Structure 1
Amino acid sequence: MRSLFLLLLLAVLGTSAMADVLIPLRTIRAQEIVTRSDFRVEPVDIPGAWPAEKTVDGLEARVALYAGRPVLGNDLGPPAVVERNDVVTLVFARGGLLISAEGRALSRGGVGDSVRVMNLSSRTTVTGLVQENGMIEVR
């Protein structure tokens, strides 16, 4: 009850909550691997900003990050394992059934990212998750 009251009070007063977020110290190009030393921490009120307590070491900039501008939630991600136009192995596994085929990646992606891939034998486009070994798991 008390927390509901505080939320209502904040809404009425128009007060927003500040949170520590990451601010790049320099311009970081897209696809560049970053470390914590590339950023400073600053309290900012921006919805969807990358929280300062989340780790960034070894992540890849998905877009250009400009010095002085807060990093948003989707601006960083795992480094790409699959590049656009790479020939990859598509794998479908369910129970005891295992089907594999060659495909061409239509976008780049890191481990756990969802990417579209064209099956080279059927020319059908499917979506799958990038695995650590570069295979694409189709569901």
Structure 2
Amino acid sequence: MMLRLLALLSLLASPLRAEMLVAARMIPAGTLLEPRDVLLREGAAAGAVVAVEEAVGLESRVVLYPGRPIRAADLGPPALVERNQIVTLVYRRSGLLIATEARALGRGGVGDMLRVMNLASRSTVTGQVDEAGRVIVGPSARMLHDLEDF
């Protein structure tokens, strides 16, 4: 009886299927992904994106090749700051607010850490890009939302 039950269960059990996203075509780095750029395929890969919604609207950080898995590390928020762009550099601590102009030494989106060169002092610092495209440096570089009036 037990053997019959095990045989029946093995016939009814279907193998688990995993799905992942792959590129539908060659996608250059810096491209904003649209639904037509990705395909859902059977398979699994470490770090692969598994839902179309997780990828659409993000920017490819590297070249994505057709049929290859798209990994979460290959994608990021769309860039707000381009290399060599002049940005506002903000430092804030204990009521002190210093703002100046800086040149971006790379490109980045909201939340990305970005190196910039202060145009006044020529020193290079690293800060975090906020929603307005400013680069926040110092101990409070974690997304300052209260600078909207600046």
Deviations 1:50-104 (Å, cap 9, x if unpaired)? 2326522221111111110001121111111000011111001123110111111
1:101 is matched by which residue type in structure 2?
T
Could you say which residue in structure 2 is the equivalent of 1:125? 124
Q: CA RMSD in A?
A: 1.7
1:20 aligns with 2:19: yes
Deviations 1:3-51 (A, max 9, x none): xxxxxxxxxxxxxx97422111111111111123321112323212223
Equivalent in the alignment of 1:41: 40
* Larger Rg over CA atoms: 2
For residues 17 and 136 of structure 2, what CA distance do their matches in structure 1 show?
40
Q: Is 1:81 aligned to residue 80 of structure 2?
A: yes
Query: Is residue 30 from structure 1 mapped to residue 29 from structure 2 by the alignment?
Result: yes
- The structure richer in strand per residue is 1
Match of residue 54 from structure 2: 55
Q: Aligned in 2, Cα 1:75/1:18: closer, same or farther, shift over 3 Å?
A: farther
Following TM superposition, the consecutive aligned residue runs of length 4 or more in structure 1 with deviations greater than 6 angstroms are none
Determine the structure 2 residue equivalent to 1:6: none
- Asked if 1 retains the 8 angstrom alpha-carbon contact of 2:127 and 2:136, the reply is yes
Mark the runs of 5 or more structure 1 residues left unpaired by the alignment.
1-16
Give yes or no for contact 2:26–2:66 (8 Å, CA) kept in 1: yes
CA–CA distance in 1 between the matches of 2:72 and 2:56?
15
TM-score of the aligned structures, taking structure 2 as reference length: 0.75
- Aligned identity (percent) is 51
Extract unaligned runs of 5+ from structure 2: 1-15, 139-150
CA offsets 1:85-135 (integer angstroms, 9 cap, x no match): 111110011231101111110000011111001111111111111112111
The corresponding residue for 2:71 is 72
Cα distance 1:19–1:126, how it changes in 2: closer, same or farther (>3 A)? farther
The TM-score, its normalising length taken from structure 1, stands at 0.80
